[in-house]
A and B are shown apart, each in its own frame.
Chain A
Amino acid sequence: MIGGEDVVLPTLDLDRVVATDVCVRAIIRRWPRAVIQSGTTAEIYPRYQSVPFGEEREIMIYRDRHALESWDELESHPTNHNTMVHLLAYGDGKMTIVVDDANAEEMRLLLEEIRRAMRNTPRVSTEAPDSERRAA
């Protein structure tokens, strides 16, 4: 996303992969028709279960197909503000969430729901699996 507002949320002791998973699940519960897109390859994931969280460090989530088309055509534009969330997960301990306006009601609620979800997610092992150690 070009422009927008960076909101950096602490993920406490959730690892990067789980924190991203939790964020996506929280967002698609609010936006049940959401479209998920890779932030690095632009691949569209047809369903939540298609997302390779172990490999993705950037994910864009559009409110619906119409929002995706609008962003494709106009990029950031007043008519599509607050219809897309850009997640950046480049390290354990924090998640950067880019939104148009963090004070807009829709985004404020969404960010609060993500915070709550991360706070209440069961904590995972601190022992990284082989695949993550190799990637590090």
Chain B
Amino acid sequence: MTMDASDRLRDLLGRAGLQASVDSAVEFWGEESAGKYFAGRADLLVAAYRAYAERYPTASSSGSVPRLDVDTLEETLQRNPQKVRAFLQALEETSNVGLLVMVWRIIHGDTIMSIDMRYVERETFELVIRLEDPATGDESCYRSQDNDDAVLLRHIAVMKINDMPIFDGFYALRV
């Protein structure tokens, strides 16, 4: 991954309203280390793109859920800035490629069918999230055993429909 991709990601973060996040990374690590950090995130985005393309080979910008890459994020920024912001925050919060695919799917309308979380202090953590594509009924499952990934749950809106529980959507947090 070249630094070009890293710079492009930093530029995208800024244009998505997340410049404060870039600035705080530079302040925290210094410019050189922050550059490596963003290069790592750009690499992660490429990995997520590949994982997404493998799992959803028919995804396209004109189809149901678009591809997952920088070009699509830039295209989406004008029409749906809130989705780009939410995804970029997830990109900063997790290194789990599968969970990034999951976030992209939720942002584009997949239904969260179930969330199972198991935690035992100093022993184990497991997060399992099942989604359903409302258009096709296809289900998908995403897992993590890293409790750092629990931060992603903060982005999900809490609702009730007919007084029954609903977790829905994936939204950006205040920076």
Contacts and interface: CB of A to CB of B under 8 A. Distances in A.
Interface string A1-41: 00000000000000101100110011001101000000000
B67 interface: no
Contact of A21 (B15, B20, B169): B169
B171 A18 contact: yes
Question: Size range of the interface on A?
Answer: 35 or more
B159 A127 contact: no
A109 B15 contact: no
B120 interface: no
Contact of B175 (A17, A18, A55, A125): A125
A121 B171 contact: yes
B20 A129 contact: no
B15 A48 contact: no
A132 interface: yes
Nearest to A118: B157
Given A18-B171, A52-B80, A54-B80, A129 B16 contact: yes
B35 interface: no
Interface in A89-119: 109, 113, 116-117
A121 B86 CA distance: 12
Interface stretch (B42-50, B91-99, B160-168): B160-168
Contact of A125 (B17, B78, B135, B159): B17
Given A29-B166, A32-B134, A124 B161 contact: no
Contact of A122 (B17, B78, B108, B157): B157
Nearest to A21: B82
Choose among B108, B154, B161 the residue with the greatest number of A CB atoms under 10 Å from its CB.
B161
Given A54-B79, A121-B169, A22 B157 contact: yes
Interface of A: 15, 17-18, 21-22, 25-26, 29-30, 32, 47-49, 51-55, 109, 113, 116-117, 120-132
